[in-house]
Chains A and B, each alone.
Chain A
Amino acid sequence: MKARAYDVVIIGAGIVGAACAWACANEGLRVAVIEADIVGGGATGAGMGHLVVMDDSEAQFALTRYSRSLWHRLATELPEEVEYDSCGTIWVAADEQEMNAVKRKKEFYEARGVQAEVLDAKALRAAEPNLREGLTGGLRVPGDAVIYAPCAARFFIERAQSRGAELYLPCVVTEITADGVRLNDGTAVAGHRVVNAAGTWSPMLTPGIEVKKRKGHLVITERYAGFAKHQLVELGYLKSAHSMTTESVAFNVQPRRTGQLLIGSSRQFNVEGEEADVNILRRMLARAAEFLPGVSRLSAIRSWTGFRAATPDKLPLIGPWPGRENLFLATGHEGLGITTSLGTAKLLVDQLLRREPEIPIAPYLSSRVPESVHA
């Protein structure tokens, strides 16, 4: 029999909700997690699982760096199936203009204590022999890593459960009330605080949140151990990620510990259907082949799509929702939710317990004034 009176009711067992559940349970709070489908079944399971420091804005940098440091601390505790791989990232520059961006990025990281190494054309080829000739160079960020995110979410949930958290699954929340949530079978789950961590579904429960669905495609290959050694991302990725236009693709390839390659990426707004779009897949694979010509000879075994929970200023919403004193948000992580799940959980718990957070919280509050994006 479940207690039905919690300190915190968390909606969503994606990696963000799962991390929040673990963090709350660790503080001795009575936690319920309510998941409509399966643990890690939304964007968590559809994405790449790249743990990456990003520098689109100071606030994004602060949260990704903070979160990555939390992942580093956790790495040795993660079970085997999480497939943690400290492969690092190489940001690939295709021309002099992008090479200048590499140098700026290096200075930005270095000034803030994140290790990064500029590679010239020769060093880039030595690091990744399957990249085509004629690329200008790159930036290697050795502290970045890769995980299999759905298993990480499951691990967080299990840890939370071992601390007394209760998982309601599959249960659909239809309404956030003044004293908890209501499920679609009419059951009320009482909680002092409610956390909306429902990702792309979060606006349905909290109208007015600026979270939109942003569709992505991925392809996974057979096992080709050693084909790529780092997560490889084109610097032009930022152009794709920043573009708020309808669709874009960018070169983003990730080696898995199994030897498989995950090939991305695409971004589309205003597309609701889950089906894979052959034209997008074709463009995405062509883009990958421009950087890694050998990709064309590899065998792909699956492709799929997923939806990111995107906010207009690329920053998640973490903290209270004004006008609803029992409601907190932990959503809108777009393509960085795997990385920033751990930082989000810390910042959320700090707010629930009225503690001083380790990084400034203001940029992630829903009441923020958007910071202009500089990159």
Chain B
Amino acid sequence: MPREFEVMVNGARIGVTEDMTALVAIFLSGTTTLRRSVSGAPRGALCGMGVCFECRVTINGERYRRSCQVRCAQAMDIRTDE
């Protein structure tokens, strides 16, 4: 069984397992707007495989991480729409 722990998504505690990506944690938190276009339009994950760059979020203070390419880790701090 994969390990279970919590990550933070926009300040909320979300229970995940270690085989989930940060994107899954974000979806579990109920958020679908991950970032904004230059004109302010909401953007969300499209391809889920690292190609479209639409799932970029801030992870542990580092901006522009592709959340679909990052595995969850204990106490990870994920922030969307920054």
Q: Which residues of A contact B (CB under 8 A)?
A: 222-223, 258, 299, 301
Verify A222–B64 contact, CB threshold 8 A. Answer: yes
Decide if A222 touches B38 in the complex (CB within 8 Å).
Answer: no
Within the complex, the shortest CB–CB distance from B82 to chain A, in Å, comes to: 11
A223 to B82, CA, bound (A): 12
Give the docked Cα–Cα distance between A143 and B15 (Å).
55
Instruction: Say whether, besides A222-B63, A222-B64, A301 and B38 are in contact (CB < 8 Å).
Output: no
- The total of interchain contacts (Cβ-Cβ below 8 angstroms) comes to 8
Chain B, residue nearest A301 (CB): B53
Residues of B within 8 A of A223 (CB): 38
Tally of chain B residues near chain A (CB < 8 A): 5
A-B contact pairs, 8 of them (CB 8 A): A222-B56, A222-B63, A222-B64, A223-B38, A258-B38, A299-B63, A299-B64, A301-B53
Complex formed: what's the CA distance from A222 to B38 in Å? 11
In the complex, besides A222-B63, A222-B64, 4 extra interface pairs with C-beta distance below 8 angstroms are A222-B56, A223-B38, A258-B38, A299-B64
Q: Which of B49-66 contact A (CB under 8 A)?
A: 53, 56, 63-64
Complex Cα spacing A301 to B64, Å: 10
Q: Which residues of A contact B56 (CB under 8 A)?
A: 222
Q: How far is the CB of B59 from chain A (nearest CB, A)?
A: 12
Taking the closest CB of chain B, its distance from the CB of A188, in whole angstroms, is 43
Give every chain B residue within 8 A of A258 (Cβ-Cβ).
38
Q: How far is the CB of A9 from chain B (nearest CB, A)?
A: 37
CB of B52, distance to nearest CB on chain A (Å): 10
Q: In the assembly, what is the distance between CA of A222 and CA of B56, in Å? A: 10
Distance from A49 Cβ to chain B, minimum over Cβ atoms (Å): 16
Residues of A within 8 A of B64 (CB): 222, 299
A301 partner residues in chain B, CB cutoff 8 A = 53
Q: Would you give the shortest CB distance from A315 to chain B, in whole angstroms?
A: 36
Give Cα A107 to B53, complex, Å: 46
Residues of A within 8 A of B63 (CB): 222, 299
Q: Which residues of B contact A299 (CB under 8 A)?
A: 63-64
B1: min CB distance to chain A, Å: 35
How far in angstroms is the closest Cβ of chain B from A262? 15
Give every chain A residue within 8 A of B38 (Cβ-Cβ). 223, 258
The answer for the CA separation of A299 and B69 in the assembled complex, in Å, is 14
* A223→B40 CA distance, assembly (Å): 13
A260 to chain B, nearest CB (A): 9
CA distance A222 to B63 in the complex (A): 9
